[in-house]
């Protein structure tokens, strides 16, 4: 199921890429897109966990809002809010009570730098940054607790600029600095002092907004 959902998100990004490229190719000219300035985007998608964390926490909904400063056509600086809601996999995690709504809520912020691979209105890009999230574990489950966790987002995406309109599809992987919200999971055996070897977070989102 997890692989299927990741495949659907990847297919969605591919479809956006093909449609956007085809539309601009059909126009046969450079768009008058506003690629510099400040962009405000909101969006959503799917978020899941990998390795041991992925066995215990099911994929769930991701959502967020981002403000982007683009001093040039290829360089972007972002400040964003990112949240997600997930449930435990009850076949692997013993939950002693039930709650209304998601078992785990994540709310966080991140600062990200993006580098466009082209200066065209259809622009693939790479991203990297730093972030911090508050995990609110709402259901009572052994080995899981609410905690604040740092992360390093790495990934890439595709932006489409049409006039002031901006669309963005991205996939990123968040390397977790620590995982004390999941103390029942084993650490990375290849690095005895590590507590970050039990998994990370993958997120795929589609975001829409405007550039001013």
The model's pLDDT over 14-49, given as tens digits with 9 standing for 90+, comes to 544 544 554 444 344 445 678 899 999 999 999 999
Please say whether the beta carbons of 176 and 147 come within 8 A.
no
Phi, psi of 15 (to 5 degrees): -65, -45
Domain with residue 75: its CATH number is 2.40.160.20
H or E segment at 4?
A: helix 2-27
Range(s) of the domain holding residue 13 = 2-211
Render pLDDT for 104-157 as a digit per residue (tens, 0 to 9): 999 999 999 999 999 999 999 999 999 999 999 999 988 899 999 999 999 999
Task: Indicate yes or no: pTM above 0.95.
Answer: no
| Percent with pLDDT over 90 in the chain | 63
> CA–CA separation, 151 vs 201, rounded Å?
9
Number of domains the chain is built from: 1
Please say whether the beta carbons of 188 and 198 come within 8 A.
yes
H or E segment at 115?
A: strand 104-116
């Amino acid at each position: 199921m997890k692989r299927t959902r990741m495949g659907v998100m990847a297919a969605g990004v591919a479809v956006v890429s093909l449609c956007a490229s085809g539309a601009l190719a059909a126009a046969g000219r450079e768009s008058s897109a506003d690629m510099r300035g400040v962009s405000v985007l909101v969006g959503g998608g799917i978020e899941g966990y990998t390795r041991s964390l992925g066995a215990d926490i099911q994929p769930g909904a991701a959502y967020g809002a981002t403000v982007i400063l683009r001093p040039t056509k290829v360089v972007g600086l972002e400040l964003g809010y990112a949240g997600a809601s997930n449930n435990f996999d009850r076949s692997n995690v013993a939950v002693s009570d039930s709650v209304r709504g998601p078992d785990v809520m994540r709310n966080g912020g991140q600062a990200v730098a993006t580098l466009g691979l082209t200066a065209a209105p259809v622009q693939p890009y790479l991203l990297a940054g730093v972030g911090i999230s508050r995990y609110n574990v709402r259901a009572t489950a052994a080995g899981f607790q609410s905690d604040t966790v740092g992360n390093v987002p790495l990934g890439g995406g595709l932006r489409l600029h049409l006039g002031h309109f901006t669309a963005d599809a991205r996939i990123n992987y968040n390397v977790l600095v620590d995982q004390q919200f999941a103390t029942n999971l084993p650490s990375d055996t290849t690095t005895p002092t590590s507590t970050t070897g039990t998994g990370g977070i993958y997120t795929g989102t589609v975001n829409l907004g405007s550039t001013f």
